[in-house]
Structure 1
Amino acid sequence: MSGTSQHADRHPLLRKLEGIALFELTAEERAAIEAMPMQPALIDAYQDIVREGDRPGRSFAILSGMASTYKSTRAGKRQVMSYHVAGDVPDFQSLHLQTLDISIATVTPCRIGFVQHDAVRALLRAQPRLGEVFWRATLIDAAIVREWTLNTGRRDAYARMAHLFCELITRLGAVGLAPDFSCDLPMTQPELADALGITPVHVNRTIRDLKAAGLISLRSRHLVVHDWDGLVAAAEFDPTYLHLRGQDQR
């Protein structure tokens, strides 16, 4: 798996779509993506971008930073359903589902590009093959949620955390943000607990165990994987569900 991208200077959404498309995008299709009328916004960490129950008239792409999809109980207990990285369009389903059944919040400060639904529909009418790629991206998002359901429901804490780290390195590597099997890991231990369905104390213990096994190091919220094959084995990680195109998935 390559941790860098020769297209790191490209529009994040274009990098993402090229990484999952089943065909080569034409120059016209690439230009159409880059020309999408986006309204940029900078949003601080720990802010909701959209909330469950919203009826948005626009979708958004993450241009930089990290966000998470989550749901909460009435008592305020939060379950993180997935993380989102540069190039992702986490709420594309709002183009077809009028009322959101999820909330999406920033994990780090994020640069967001909002696009009105009418502009998205115009793009897909003008470039119908891009509709296939956006649909594929939405299906991959659903596949990630299915894998997370298995991860939190049936793997032990050690494998759960190893799997999360493998996924983040793989997804960030696909957009040039995980050089040499390393990446920023901005989540606090309570936030990781919400993603993995364990307590913050258990998160601390599990990170310590992964370090002791020589698989990772984690300092100043920066993750370095020292034994990729060992981490993959510990996680039972099979990247098929990410459906990345043209990537060496070891």
Structure 2
Amino acid sequence: MDKESMVATLLRRLDAVTGLDEADIAAIRALPIVVRPWEAGRAIVSDGDRPTECCLVIEGFCVRSKTIMNGQRQILSIHISGDIPDLQSLYLHRMDHDLISLVPSRLGFISHAALRAMTRGNPNITEVLWRDTLIDAAMFREWIVNVGQRPAASRLAHIVVELRRRLAITGYTESGAFEMPLTQEQIGETLGITPVHANRIIKQLRDENILDINRGRVRVLNETRLAELAQFDDRYLHQSPSL
């Protein structure tokens, strides 16, 4: 895989939310990236690690999560092609959560030294990555509200709409359908409910002809009812440099 292909989705995403000039694009393309295949369910970085590189998702899906002492896990965010989900490790030296691949993925690893050199030599890219980090924080806030205040069916609908909106920016959606490779247990961990409850919610949305979730793919059956259920306001995604 050539360098342009590796960073194409990252550049598309950053340009959509921030705007990039030619110098920014050239600097990002010049980053040294080590590409590694990654099997499903394998930790990329774990709680307590001190990483020396950041991970670019080239192909695949990853999640951030926290596991408490009794073994229960909360999924905190879903990451797709073009994301650098552990960018904070550039300045927060010890990981306080896990980053795990959901499916067989292709990941690009960029050393902290290379990222620091790029940001020091390109102040505009520093601003771009700072804005990207702030958008990440905005998404965390929305997920807290989603899990804490919305009914379970609305939680799932909201996450589905968010993921579809993000995948659309990077070109990874089809008409009415897209990948969401979460198992029933992982959907429960994302929504803060049990797997049994998750199964009931998935069945409810299918029976009500709103969504069909099957074998890691989502098919939207009724756009209007999905929008009503999700209560989705996309401002927090800031998918325009003007927002």
Q: Does 2:78 match 1:71? A: no
Identity of aligned residues (%): 38
Q: 1:200 aligns with which of 195, 203, 211?
A: 195
- Secondary structure at the residue paired with 1:113? strand
Moved more, 60-69 or 211-220: 211-220
Decide whether the 8 Å contact of 1:169 with 1:181 is kept in 2: no
- Secondary structure at the residue paired with 2:11? helix
Aligned residue in 2 for 1:161: 156
Q: Flag as ranges the 4+ runs of structure 1 deviating above 3 A.
A: none
Aligned residue in 2 for 1:5: none
Q: Does 2:168 match 1:173? A: yes
- Secondary structure at the residue paired with 2:175? helix
Decide whether the 8 Å contact of 1:193 with 1:200 is kept in 2: yes
1:181–1:131 distance in 2 versus 1, CA, 3 Å: farther
Q: 1:49 aligns with which of 40, 44, 47?
A: 44
Once the two structures are superposed, the pairs formed by residues 92-111 of structure 1 within 5 Å of their partners are 92-111=87-106
Letter of the structure 1 residue corresponding to residue 9 of structure 2: P
The gaps in structure 1 that reach 5 residues or longer are 1-7
Q: CA deviation at 1:172?
A: 0.8
The gaps in structure 2 that reach 5 residues or longer are none
The root-mean-square deviation of aligned C-alpha atoms, in Å, is: 1.8
Aligned residue pair count: 239
1:137–1:181 distance in 2 versus 1, CA, 3 Å: farther
Aligned residue in 2 for 1:82: 77
Higher relative contact order structure (alpha carbons within 8 Å, sequence separation ≥ 6): 1
Q: Does 2:115 match 1:125? A: no
1:129–1:246 distance in 2 versus 1, CA, 3 Å: closer
Letter of the structure 2 residue corresponding to residue 115 of structure 1: I
Aligned residue in 2 for 1:3: none
Aligned residue in 1 for 2:11: 14
Q: CA deviation at 1:129?
A: 0.5
Q: Does 2:55 match 1:27? A: no
Q: CA deviation at 1:227?
A: 2.1
Q: CA deviation at 1:218?
A: 2.6
Aligned residue in 2 for 1:36: 31
- TM-score (norm. length: structure 1): 0.91
Q: Deviations over 1:133-186 (max 9, x none)?
A: 111111111111111111111111110111111111111111101122321121
Aligned residue in 2 for 1:237: 232
Alpha-carbon distance in structure 2 between the residues aligned to 1:162 and 1:128: 39
Alpha-carbon distance in structure 1 between the residues aligned to 2:174 and 2:124: 32
